[in-house]
Amino acid sequence: MELKKLRCSNCDGALKQSDDGRYYCESCGTSYLLDKDPEDVFSEKFDQLTSQENLARAAQSIKTGSRKAAILAILVLTVFMIIVMIMVSALLRNESIQRAEAERSRAVVSSEMAERESDFYEEYDRVSQHIEEQAENT
């Protein structure tokens, strides 16, 4: 496509493009409509498609970035959940160990109390027997 400087054929003034696609002379006000070559039309369409492809690629890139961010967020949440599960498991295990230790302590105390009770009754029987023997001797 060849770039040409647009000038008014009446007064050689500069042409400006209006909103409707026409051109007008700034000096004399003559209006012009461009006759586009088929090659120029193809070039414009190609440029439009290329820009649409670029938009599509950009949208795909955003989608891919969003997917990557979502996957990363899922991985982070998964790791976080695993850490929480490990901590809860450790706390429950610690609590279970403490319960087992408390149960062993209770068993030891119960055993000691049973021994003391047995010793107490043996001593009671011995003292009772001694009192009975003294009562018989007197």
Q: What pLDDT score was predicted for residue 33?
A: 75
Q: Give per-residue pLDDT as tens, 23-82.
A: 888 888 888 876 666 565 556 666 666 677 777 777 777 777 788 888 888 999 999 999
C-alpha–C-alpha distance, residues 109 and 112, integer Å: 5
Q: Is residue 137 part of a domain?
A: no
Q: Kindly state the tokens that stand for 4.
A: 């040409």
The predicted model gives 82-96 an average pLDDT of: 92
- Categorize the per-residue pLDDT at 85 as very low, low, confident or very high, splitting at 50, 70 and 90: very high
Q: Is residue 65 part of a domain?
A: yes
Q: What pLDDT score was predicted for residue 25?
A: 87
DSSP line for 16-56 = EE-TTS-EEETTT--EE-----HHHHHHHHHHHHHHHHHHH
* 52 and 96 both lie in a single domain: yes
* One-letter amino acid of 67: R
Q: Give per-residue pLDDT as tens, 98-120.
A: 999 999 999 889 888 989 998 89
The predicted model gives 120-134 an average pLDDT of: 90
Q: What pLDDT score was predicted for residue 57?
A: 75
* 29 and 41 both lie in a single domain: no
Q: Is residue 103 part of a domain?
A: yes
* 13 and 70 both lie in a single domain: no
**What is the distance, to the nearest Å, from the Cα of residue 89 to the centroid of all Cα atoms in its chain?**
23
Structural domain for 4, as ranges: 1-35
* 88 and 24 both lie in a single domain: no
Q: What is this structure's pTM?
A: 0.37
Q: Does residue 130 carry a pLDDT above 60?
A: yes
